[in-house]
Amino acid sequence: MREFDAIVVGGGHNGLACAALLAKRGLSVAVFERRDVLGGAAVSETGVWPGYILSTASYVCSLLDPWIVQTLDLGAHGYSAYRKHPSSFTPLEDGRSLLLGSDDAANEREIAVFDAADVPGFHAFEAESARLGSALFEAFSDEYPSWARFDADTRATLEGSAAHLVERYVRTPVLQATLATDGLIGTYAGPRDDGTGYVLAHHYAGRALGTQGAWGFVRGGMGAISQALASAARAHGAHIFSGADVIEVLMRGDRAIGVALADGRELFARTVISNAHPQITFSRLIGDDYLRDQVPGGDALVAKLRSWKTVGPSLKLNLALGELPDFTARPGLHLQPHHRATIHVAPSLDFLQQACDDARREGESREPMLECFVQTPTDPSLAPSGKHILSIFAQYFPYDRSGGWSETARERAAERVIGMLARFAPNLPNVIEARQVLAAPDLESRFGLIGGNIFHGELLPGQIFDGRFATRTPVRGLYLCGSGAHPGGCVSGFPGRRAADAVARDLVGAR
Ligand SMILES: Cc1cc2nc3c(=O)[nH]c(=O)nc-3n(C[C@H](O)[C@H](O)[C@H](O)COP(=O)(O)OP(=O)(O)OC[C@H]3O[C@@H](n4cnc5c(N)ncnc54)[C@H](O)[C@@H]3O)c2cc1C
């Protein structure tokens, strides 16, 4: 019977990164992915609408580990990212708007329209966010992550709120909100809630575009990252199977010895590495009772699984457009700089907090926060000629909304989102040619994101660093390589890299 050095459960980008790194070190590796398409939430899907390539889940890149890109030579396997420029556009209902990018002089002119006194504060915020992001980046590959590596001031900032962080530097409401939104992405918390300071800094940790904290698009959509990782893994000899649902981690006592697939096959390995959400990995594929009875430390593990915060507030709406959105604040159907930026509906911190508080009280935001992207102007290969994709990430539409998620609730949420954006771009409702609504339960069923949480669990203090699930699990021979492990979610590859390091070290040590 064939025994692999490592079986990876799940072909998300982290599972693929882990497999590629292990295969490069000469280990025999097999990856089993439940879906027919690789990539998990870093995916480019064809066939949703004819002629379109859709980044159905994630849409922009910053955190992808440059070491992985270089070590696996991902450029040679088709990966290419380019910076978003400008970076953000926030229209207001009174016809004004704020456009920010990498050009200092242009930023200063834009901010001065609202309040020239905010210009120095904006620069100071940029410096502080880069400092925080850099400190996190340095911590992302730690074998044993710990808060203790940060000084008391830095810890206090990360444990505090995103609002507190931006209010220290600037006072213009639209500028504050534009800077704070990344602290809320994927997180069921408002800007004034503690811990969103960490989420904000996490979004400044990336260096994929060569500049600390810069974000960009990936040519061919986010799945191009996963495809490049899969191609590198195969080139180093890894076997990758899609449409292969793992239904059980095979155990002998407290040791993982392989996996069982839905088609009845059993495969064996010296190590099993799971890219799946921790609750899938442990509770579904092994079982809480088994863990408690057979695995030392199983009680504590099960308690952690049950208290793990993984209720997601995000809804993804992908729209096929016949023409570009025509913003009242910067009119015209022709391609303009703001169309290439992240388009925010986020006029003030109070608005964002209200969006969250409404959801807590009433089940969803009356006026949602939106983050929108149109990649097609800079990568026309994603849509038929002259057409565009508008990708909208909306909050707060939580998984556990009262009344549940019926088809009507989904459609109503989509209408609410479109109506919200149409206040700033009135042509929008008339140019939509197709739409895909992915509410939190759809993110769960499609991608295995339990509770619809895009990060495999909130990235808030208590669930980060040593509060996240350990890469080396209490089950002998079982490792976690997905976002449930440090440093958590986003398309970074770090959890995969850390798992590959741990497995390589343990297997070589065991020989
Ligand atoms: C709507 C949305 C928007 C986002 N936007 C961004 C963004 O713009 N930029 C960014 O950096 N991040 C973004 N994120 C977050 C980011 O996409 C995720 O954190 C990241 O892709 C997770 O990668 P992963 O490899 O850890 O896990 P996943 O991508 O969740 O991969 C896990 C894989 O395991 C598979 N699997 C699960 N169970 C089994 C089983 N039993 N058998 C076989 N296979 C199994 C799943 O099918 C999946 O392919 C977004 C996420 C979502 C959902």
**Per-residue pLDDT tens digits for 336-381:** 999 999 999 999 999 999 999 999 999 999 999 999 999 999 999 9
- In which region does residue 411 sit, left (phi positive, over 0), alpha (psi from -120 to 50) or beta (all else)? alpha
Q: Is 319 exposed, middle or buried (0-12, 13-18, 19+ CB in 10 A)?
A: buried
Q: What is the pLDDT of residues 432-488, one digit of tens each?
A: 999 999 999 999 999 999 999 999 999 999 999 999 999 999 999 999 999 999 999
Question: Confidence band (pLDDT; 50, 70, 90) for 31?
Answer: very high
CB proximity list for 221: less than 8 A, separation 6 or greater:
43, 44, 53, 54, 55, 59, 375, 379, 382
Handedness of CA 203, 208, 33, 372 (dihedral sign): positive
Residues 6+ apart with CB under 8 A from 51: 383, 384, 387
Q: In this structure, what is the dihedral angle of CA atoms 478, 482, 484, 485, given to the nearest 10 degrees?
A: 70
For tokens 């030392």, the residue is: 296
**Cα 493 to ligand 1 centre (Å):** 11
Q: What is the spatial distance between Cα 346 and Cα 172, in angstroms, rounded to a whole number?
A: 12
Between 3.40.50.720, 3.40.190.10, 2.102.10.10, 3.50.50.60, what CATH number should domain 3-46+58-81+220-308+451-510 receive?
A: 3.50.50.60
Q: What is the C-alpha separation between 78 and 426, in angstroms, rounded?
A: 38
Largest Cα span, the chain: 71
Cα dihedral: 486, 467, 246, 449 (round 10): -80
Measure the CA–CA gap between 399 and 257, rounded to whole angstroms: 34
Q: Are 217 and 84 in contact (CB under 8 A)?
A: yes
- Give me ligand 1 centre to Cα 499, in Å: 16
Q: Which atom of ligand 1 is nearest to the CA of 62?
A: 11
For 164-188, give one letter per residue: b (16+ CB within 10 A) or e. Answer: bbbbebbebbbbbbbbbbbbbbbbb
User: How confident is the model over 217-230, as a mean pLDDT?
Assistant: 98
Q: Which protein residue's CA is at the shortest distance from atom 36 of ligand 1? A: 10
pLDDT at 1 over 80: no
Cβ contact 133:212 at 8 Å: yes
Ligand 1 atom 38: the closest Cα is on which residue? 276
Tell the residue number behind the tokens 């080139």, with chain if given: 235
Cβ atoms of 140 and 65 within 8 Å: the answer is yes
Ligand 1: lining residues by beta carbon, under 6 Å? 9-15, 32-35, 40-42, 57-60, 63, 245-246, 275-276, 280, 314, 316, 393, 443, 447-449, 454-455, 482-483, 489-491, 495
> Structure pTM?
0.98
Q: What is the average pLDDT value for the chain, to the nearest integer?
A: 97
The residue whose C-alpha atom lies closest to atom 34 belonging to ligand 1 is: 10
| Domain boundaries, given as residue ranges, for the chain | 3-46+58-81+220-308+451-510
| Closest residue by CA, ligand 1 atom 1 | 57
Examine the pLDDT at 511 and tell me if it is beyond 60: no
Compute and round to an integer the Cα radius of gyration of the chain: 22
Could you tell me the pLDDT band of residue 402, with boundaries at 50, 70 and 90?
confident
Q: What is the pLDDT of residue 403?
A: 87
| pLDDT for residue 411 | 96
User: How far away, in angstroms, is 76 Cα from ligand 1 center?
Assistant: 24
What integer pLDDT is reported at residue 433 of this predicted model?
98
Structure tokens, 112: 């001065």
Residue 6, helix vs strand vs coil: strand
**What are 148-176's pLDDT values in tens digits?**
999 999 999 999 999 999 999 999 999 99
Using an 8 Å Cβ cutoff, are 370 and 347 in contact? Answer: no
As to burial, measured by CB atoms within 10 angstroms (0-12 exposed, 13-18 middle, 19+ buried), residue 511 is exposed
Contact between 498 and 141 (Cβ < 8 Å) = yes
Q: What is the mean pLDDT of residues 81-101?
A: 97
Q: Spell out the residues 6+ positions from residue 465 whose beta carbon is closer than 8 angstroms to its own.
A: 139, 145, 146, 147, 486, 487
Contact between 271 and 506 (Cβ < 8 Å): yes
Atom in ligand 1 nearest the alpha carbon of residue 274: 34
Q: How far is the CA of 163 from the centre of ligand 1 (A)?
A: 28
- Does the pLDDT value for residue 189 go beyond 90? yes
